[in-house]
Structure formats: C-alpha cells, structure tokens
Amino acid sequence: MVQFLVEKGYLKQDQFDEAQKVLQQTGQTDIGKVLVSLNMVGEREVLMAKAQEMGYAFADLDRIQIDSSCLNVVPERMVKAHNAIPVKKEGNNLWVAMVNPNNLNALDDIKIASGLRVIPVVAVTGAIEDAIKRYYGGGAVVAESAAPTPAPAQNANFNADIRMAIANAGAGRKASDDEGDSEGDAEKMAEQAPIIKLANALIQQAVADRASDIHVEPQQRAVRIRYRIDGVLQEAMTVPRNLMAPLISRLKIMSDMNIAERRIPQDGRIEVRHVGKEYDLRVSSIPTPFGEKIVMRILDKSSVMIGLQKIGFTEENQVKIEELVSQPNGMFLCTGPTGSGKTTTQYSVLNKLNTVGVNIITAEDPVEYQLNGIAQVQMNRKAGLTFATALRAFLRQDPDIIMVGEMRDLETAEIAIEAALTGHLVLSTLHTNDAPSATLRMIDMGVEPYLITATVIGVLAQRLGRKIDVENREPYQVPASDLRRFGLQAIDPDEMITLYRGVPAEANRMTGYKGRTGIHELMTMNAEIAELVVRRAPLNDIKEAAKANGMKELREDGLEKVLAGITDPQEVMRVVFTAGF
C-alpha cells in the first residue's frame, strides 16, 4: 500500500518514516489510519492504495455516474444498514461500492436481495453516505447535491447555471410547497428568470452531453433528471421537489402545451440552438401519481446529412444498399425495434436520392427532420389523414420515390405495394427482430406472398451499439472459443485474439463508450428466397437461403466491429442477442 502511495506522489519517504515511528509508539497496526490522522494523505488515497493491494477496483463516487437502473435491486434499508450502494448493473453482475470489500455479511445480504453476482468496489465512507442521501433520500435535496457530475470541461458553465438556477428558484420557498401551489402560482413562477434559466440549462446541458432524450421524472421526494446518452439512460441530477410544478409548467409553456391540463397526455415541440446548430425537441407529457413526467426527444437536424458511409455500414453492405436504392421501382424496408436508428437510415437514403431530377414525397408520423426539396406530409388521424389516405393522394402527385414512415396495417401495405408495382421506389419501416422476419410479418398482416416477392428488393435490420472511446481504450486478449457465439470460425479454438475495451474517463462520462455505430443485417431478394416466401416456408429456411445469398447476420456484423476495435463483445450481446438466440 505504501509503495503505491509513494509511486503516485501522494506520500514522501520522510513522511512514511515519521508515520512508522508513530505506529510503533502508539501500538497501532493500521498504517493507513496513522497516515490519515497525521494529515499526510487523505482517506481517498489510502483506500485507493488498499483497493489496489487487495485486487479491487476503486470507485470515486464524487466523479462517476451511478447507473440508476441498479438502485432498485437492493432495498433502501439494506443499503443504509451496510453503508454500501450499487453503482452499476450489467447482465447478472452488480457492482457495489463499500468501504470494506471483504464484509461477507453485507455481500451475502445484497446477493440474496438482488439475486445477482455481487462485485465489491472500494469507496470513501463519506462519499458513500452522500450518494445514499442523493439517490435514496434522507433529507432535503440541496442545490449542490442536485448538480450533475462534471463531465466534459465545456459543460462547466451549464452546471454552474443549473446550480445557481436551483438555488435562486428555491430561495424563500418551503420544501413542502409543491402540491399546494395553485395552477396560477406555478404559471407565475414558470415565467420568472430563475426557472427559465433552469429549464434552458437542463436542455443545453443535455445537448452538450450528446443526449438523445431528456427525462424529467417527478418522484416522492424530488424530481429526477435523466439523459439518454449513447442509448443508455444516465442520471444527471436531482431537482428539489418544491420546484417540480414551476419547472414542469415552464417546459410545457416552451413546448406550447396547455399547462392547466394535467390529467391527460400532451405533445409539443421546442426549437433550440446550440453552438450554431439547430435542434428540435419533441416533448411528451404523461400524468403519474407524483406529477407529470416529461420526456423530450432531441433531434439533431444535421444528423441525417452525415451520409450512409458514416452510419456504420461495412463497405460490402453500403455498396449493396446504394445499388438497391438506385433502382427505379421496388420496396426497400428497414426493420428493428424503437430507437435502433431506422429513421436516420431512411433519411440518409432520402438525402442521397434527393436531386433536382426526382420527386420525393414522404408520409410521416411525425415529421422528425425537415429536408429541403422533399414534400413531407404529417399524418393527422383526427382530420382523417392516415398513411393509407396519404398514399392514395401521393399516387396522383407524380412521385418517383415515396417514403412511408411505418407500415402498420394491411391497407397501408397494399397501397405501398401498388406504388412499388407501378414504377415507384418505396421506402418504409417495420418492427421485426431481423431481416428475414419482415416477409413473414407482411404475410401476417394479410399481404399475399406473391405481391411481397414482386415488390420487396431488400430488407435491412439494424441495431445501435455504443462505440468504444478510441481516445481512452486498452487492448486485451481472449481465446477464439469465446467468440464462437458471434459466428467466429476459428481453426484453433485456443488461439488468443486481441480485442479492445474502453477505459472510463471524464471524456466518456466514466463509461468507456463514446458515440454509437450501426450493426446491420441486409437481405436482398433472389429467386430462391422468393420461392420460399411464396410457399410460406419456415423462417429458418428463409434465413438460410438469405445467408447463402450473402447476408451476414446481426451478430456476424457485430463481430466484425468487435474485431476492428469499434465496439466490444458485451455491447454487441446487449443490443443483438435475445433469449433463445
């Protein structure tokens, strides 16, 4: 331990010699306690040294983000009883910060309560206590504890703005003054400068942190603010409960919602500029027992202009897609769950096809990005404007290319197929887990198989996985046998393969990841696949035929990105693998 402290420059040799004398004179056995009592080093440095000596990781709770999804797996009373707090959950593993990682009673209790494999990490006593208060309650929430973890240096001003806004907005108000506020009081306060600054700072902070969504979540004791960064929700800060009503009202005013209506869901929109770029925020509110929850989807208008080459396609898949969308007619489908990047891919394709010589019309719900030179039509069910009615009108608008936001029913699918059969290129999306399943999904909707084979030219399934922070990564080796489930065919299963993993740093918010990349599965239609679809063959038969035609499965495309050092196996498993895969 002492060697670590000396090597890191925390302790000088003469200080150690002095501490040794005190140790002998007092009869104490713990050199670390002596060093702290003499103010030679801090408790943090001693625990870092002890952690390294015992082979445990050290968690600096004042700087890292605690994964809020893991907090509910251990009861609050147990967390406080053992002064041990969960900090991260991944698969069947739960990392728990504690002072003594060899406290078997605490480890056993947490393991039984959570049902997970507990991995202890070392943290400072005071930092653990502060984190427990911040995340589990135990007193009024103050402005300092509500500030987000300092991330990139350029966000320091936003953090200061948030702290100041919380302090100013809360001045002179009792912590209990929340539900008692009248609608008029909340609206009046929502127009005051401190709340306006707080709402603006929350949004600007999220944009600066590359968040895709902002979650404002009223809870029993406070308002939790979470940002979705690189596809994963991270807790950013906690706002005092007494500021909930004016903050929610301010966000509703900004998004042109009815602030007097709190009983039903509402939708709105906010336009934001940050560092010279324009962003659209799609705002949604829903009523909950503790107040209205607000979620804001952040849409970067420039993200669809990045081009197909920057979405994460392999060179082979990019060439195939460019060939498919250059055809004069047919249907090209994108599939995947919500948040898998289907819309970005479709817009990137449209942006490539958008030239003076073609007429492009889209039917969307909602219109997420506005593209110059393209007629984009917003669906309005209340007015009777649905995908089906819009598509009928499109066919009289002399289109070359039509994009349908989503094929949700048989009527929409049939009109889209009619358009593809009559000389138009149709782009659309479906919700299926993989590319071959798209044909079966259309059959389930009631589309005749022969119409599918006559129109569908290609299906792209995709996911979004986090990229390793290339500025902070380290190599490690695994046996080839560990990558078999990804489809790796190794001659020698014991061969060691070099991979990369991200190293937690402030630049990546202590996650090791920065940005996201697409993981793709592209199926192109041929005679064999068409014959299988027409005779309603099982999914596995269609999948095998697609692989024989050159399709690489999602896991195989993920493996290529793992071997290239773009991401890691754990991230591919998180976004690609499902039960029974």
C-alpha neighbours within 13 Å on the C-beta side of residue 24: 6
The length of the chain in residues reads 581
As a whole number of angstroms, the longest Cα–Cα distance in the chain is 97
Query: Phi, psi at residue 337, to the nearest 5°?
Result: -70, 170
Per-residue model confidence (pLDDT) at position 562: 94
Question: Are 377 and 371 in contact, with CB atoms under 8 Å apart?
Answer: no
The residue type found at 326 is S
Structure tokens at 453: 């084979």
Q: List, as one string, the DSSP characters of 121-145.
A: EE--HHHHHHHHHHHH-SSPPPHHH
Q: Which candidate, 509, 483, 496, places its Cα nearest to that of 568? A: 483
| Bridge partners (DSSP) listed for residue 96 | 86, 120
Per-residue model confidence (pLDDT) at position 104: 83
Question: For the chain, what is the total number of helices (H) and then of strands (E)?
Answer: 22, 18
The residue assigned the tokens 């035929």 is: 545
What is the spatial distance between Cα 489 and Cα 255, in angstroms, rounded to a whole number? 53
For the chain, the first-to-last Cα distance in angstroms comes to 46
What is the spatial distance between Cα 216 and Cα 66, in angstroms, rounded to a whole number? 17
Question: Are 88 and 67 in contact, with CB atoms under 8 Å apart?
Answer: yes
Q: Which candidate, 473, 476, 508, 480, places its Cα nearest to that of 494? A: 480
The residue type found at 532 is L
User: 3-state DSSP helix/strand/coil percent for the chain, to nearest 5?
Assistant: 45, 25, 35
Q: Which candidate, 208, 201, 210, places its Cα nearest to that of 231? A: 210
* 481: DSSP letter: G
Per-residue model confidence (pLDDT) at position 35: 65
List per-residue pLDDT tens for the chain, 581 residues long. 556 555 555 566 666 666 666 666 666 656 666 666 666 666 777 777 777 777 788 888 877 778 767 877 888 888 888 889 998 888 788 889 988 888 888 888 888 778 788 999 988 888 888 888 877 764 322 223 333 333 333 344 445 556 555 666 655 454 444 444 555 565 666 666 778 888 888 998 899 888 999 999 999 888 999 999 988 888 888 888 888 889 999 999 999 999 888 899 999 989 888 877 888 899 999 999 999 999 999 988 666 666 677 788 999 999 999 999 999 999 999 999 888 888 888 888 988 899 999 999 999 888 877 788 899 999 888 888 988 999 999 999 999 999 998 888 899 999 999 999 999 999 999 989 899 999 999 999 999 999 999 999 999 999 999 999 999 999 999 998 888 888 888 778 788 999 999 988 878 878 889 989 999 999 999 999 999 999 999 999 999 999 999 999 999 999 999 999 999 999 999 899 754 44
Question: Are 520 and 557 in contact, with CB atoms under 8 Å apart?
Answer: yes
| pTM, full prediction | 0.66
Pairing of strands 456-468, 513-524: antiparallel
The residue assigned the tokens 């994009």 is: 403
Q: Which candidate, 369, 198, 199, 202, places its Cα nearest to that of 279? A: 369
Per-residue model confidence (pLDDT) at position 149: 35
Residue 544 vs residues 89, 332, 532, 533, 548: alpha-carbon distances, Å: 36, 20, 11, 13, 6
